[in-house]
A = this chain, B = another copy of it.
Amino acid sequence: MSSGEDDLIARYFRPVATAPGALGLVDDAAVLQPAGDDIVVTADAIVAGVHFLPDDPPDTVARKALRVNLSDLAAKGATPAGFVLTLALREVSESWLAPFARALGDDAVHFDCPLLGGDTVSTPGPLTVSITAFGRVPPGRMVRRSTAKPGDHVMVSGSIGDAVLGLAILKGASSGAGEDARAALADRYRVPQPRVTLALAVRDHASAAMDVSDGLMGDLAKLCAASGVSAAIEAAAVPLSPSARGWLQRDSAAIGMLVSGGDDYEILCTVPDHRLAAFEAAAEETGTSVSRIGRIVSGKAPPKLLDARQQEIALARLSYSHF
């Protein structure tokens, strides 16, 4: 009796929809029981040929689709509560869907963010994976973009620029990097590492936060604009992986690409001076590195990237834009 769409859902996605509120994916809707929390809602879609490469492996596409949303939740100080998946498919291929669903299920378990429901539609266009994810925060505690203050430290997690180098490598750039480094950078583009473990440190200590998805300097510019402030960033303090550092040694102009390329999925946040030690201690407990890269300053100017002599480094662009 089932339609093809129901068969597809039953075969591939029901096994990973283990939360009680998902109702085994046999209903039209799912239930979220907030239990006193605010629900933080975020939506991010990825399109083949735009956000991932058409021949990327299905498991990395699944992980990227979920993780870009988990990154948003973490930056808002929220713990994952679940997600819904809308999949626009050109065709139903067992060899693509099986590893996609399996990886999605693995990540859902790993990040404790269960699949609650969704929709599957056919499209003559590129494969598109849209996820709306939900997180929990105590009432009124979501960390915003718009609340940074002059004097706050600008902090960023992990390392910046690896994903854009990975994309360059996947598109054929010769980097001079060794095979292992090239694979690690490509992996960083394909499979973000959302900083879910930093969510509580951000919630407890940051004055403002967002994730870095479109490029560090461009996303910082958005945070500054929303907060009505500016910022001064020390280029030398921007955390780089050994691979990115090696790339920069071979091509010093690459700093612009590193700080304006997308897909880092690190947390960018501002922390008041009196919270700095507590934030750094809380972050250290999670094992995720955080770096002080500059300060929020008053003014409306775009944030500046400064070299060792405090001269501004001109950037051709600040971030990736779809349009």
Interface residues of A (CB under 8 A from B): 1-6, 8, 23, 26-34, 37-47, 49-51, 72-73, 75-76, 78, 84-86, 88-89, 92, 116-126, 128, 130, 132, 134-135, 139, 142, 144-146, 210-211, 214, 218, 221-222, 225-226, 302, 318-323
Contacts and interface: CB of A to CB of B under 8 A. Distances in A.
A73 B29 contact: yes
B323 A4 contact: yes
A1 B40 contact: no
Contacts of A26: 145-146, 222, 226
A28 to B, nearest CB: 5
Top 6 closest A-B pairs, CB basis? A125-B125, A3-B321, A4-B323, A34-B34, A132-B132, A32-B39
B125 A124 contact: yes
A264 to B, nearest CB: 14
Contacts of A33: 38-39, 139
B88 A45 contact: yes
A45 B142 contact: no
B125 A123 contact: yes
21 contacts: A1-B318, A3-B218, A3-B321, A5-B323, A6-B222, A6-B321, A8-B323, A28-B76, A31-B39, A31-B40, A31-B41, A32-B41, A39-B39, A41-B84, A41-B117, A43-B86, A45-B130, A47-B125, A49-B124, A122-B323, A124-B125
A42 B117 contact: yes
Contacts of A323: 3-5, 8, 89, 92, 120, 122
A202 B221 CA distance: 48
Contacts of A2: 222, 225
Contacts of A29: 40-42, 72-73, 76, 78, 135, 142
Contacts of A5: 321-323
Contacts of A4: 321-323
Given A6-B321, A32-B40, A45-B86, 16 more contacts: A3-B320, A5-B322, A27-B226, A28-B75, A29-B76, A29-B135, A31-B41, A32-B39, A33-B38, A33-B139, A39-B39, A41-B132, A49-B124, A88-B130, A124-B126, A125-B128
